[in-house]
Amino acid sequence: MKLNRLCVSLALGAALLGGMAFAQSPAPDPPADPDLAVIKANCTTCHEIGQVLSAHKSQPEWSETIVKMKQLGAEVEAPDEEKILRYLNAHNAVPAP
């Protein structure tokens, strides 16, 4: 019985310490790119920049995401949309399924 409590306590302690270490890790700086400013200007009205830059989608999925955001009220001009897609496809794209 004591062994079970010890195992549970150790597991919880390890999980808490691991979570604390993860929470304290600073996010890496996003890749330098002039189009990043356009993302910050358009996307951070509703989202934290980390939320945007931590997503990884295929090129078609990024296009669908922008369409969806515009349907939800995002006001993105066509030239800015092109710059956002260019940045996300260059730095946050995954192969299409």
Q: Which residues of the chain have pLDDT under 50?
A: 3, 6-12, 20-23
pLDDT at 21: 45
CA distance 27 to 9: 30
CA distance 46 to 39: 12
Instruction: Give domain limits for the chain.
Output: 35-91
pLDDT at 26: 62
pLDDT at 15: 54
